[in-house]
Amino acid sequence: MSNGDQNLNVIKEKIGFIGGGNMAKAICEGIVKKNIIKYSQVYISAARNESLEYWQKKGAHATTINGSVVDEADIIFLAVKPHILPEAIANILDYKNEKDKSYKSKLFVSILAGITIAQLERALDFTENRIIRVMPNTPMMVGEGCTVFCPGQRATESDVNVVKTILEVSGVCKQVPESLINAVGALSGSGPAFVYLMIEALADGGVKQGIPREMAVQFAAQTVLGASKMVLDSGKHTGQLKDEVCSPGGTTITGIHALEKAGVRGALMDAVEAAAKKSAELGEKKH
């Protein structure tokens, strides 16, 4: 389905975010830009009023009360840091008990790193546990996201379709077994930060050789963008693409040799492994 076709899938439900940080902004910005929803359909909660100013300026409904978001919205994204989840749930329960509310018809979508569906079902035992676990990344803001999701047992086909509509408009979106979510989060969720570091390092190399900083950053970023597009569009193996740039005895193979001696390949593999392990550790803590 093309992005043009997806624009027809307007979401009528109200969408809530418990936590108004960068991932909430990335998801929301992506679907608003594609005319899937309007900011007037969005409900946001955050611990501090200063964090809500961004959302208020956009026209979203902003509050410091999590339970109010759950009460108003049909689809609620859990977008806080994993260690904040117990406090966030407690805030929801306080509001529920105080206002005598029922949340039986709610769909919860979790972007919490490391927190399993089973853990979420226990934490949200005051609902019917319609849960979908997702792992997005911040490039969703520019329509180049990479997201995976896994529905819980009680999630319906309709739930899956609406979440896919939200996620697909801003890049690649795939359903995977839950056992792969931590690994994908380490690769595509943490990966942009690894790439930013590489772009910065390439630009530094350019500056060292006399290229003005602004031009060095632009050329480094465009080089990474172009190389990525070559991988995605050509269908060729990355090794073949690399070999096509490396002339015998040339500059590129000399640079590749320097990278291999520095252990860049192993360092990147270690970075993904370390991020995946940390995600698993976050899930092992009690919530």
Residues annotated as binding site for NADPH? 66
Cα separation, 184 vs 280, in Å, equals 12
| Three-state secondary structure of 229-260 | HHHHHHCCCHHHHHHHHCCCCCHHHHHHHHHH
What is the distance between the alpha carbons of residues 272 and 190, in angstroms, rounded to a whole number?
Answer: 8
First and final C-alpha spacing in the chain: 38
Q: Is 139:105 a contact under the CB 8 Å cutoff?
A: no
Phi, psi dihedrals of residue 267, rounded to the nearest 5°: -65, -40
- Helices and strands, number each (H, E), in the chain: 13, 8
Tokens representing 231 are: 């991988």
What residues are designated binding site? 18-23, 66, 79-82
Residue 25 tokens read as 């902004």
Give the residues across from 17 on adjacent strands: 44, 77
263 Ramachandran zone, left/alpha/beta (phi>0; psi -120 to 50): left
DSSP conformational letter for 175: E
> Under a CB-based contact definition with an 8 Å cutoff, are residues 169 and 31 in contact?
yes
Q: Are strands 15-18 and 145-151 parallel, antiparallel or unpaired?
A: unpaired
Could you tell me which residues come within 8 angstroms of residue 78 by beta carbon, excluding any fewer than 6 positions away? 18, 19, 85, 88, 108, 109, 110, 111, 112, 120
Q: Which residues are annotated as a binding site for NADP(+)?
A: 18-23, 79-82
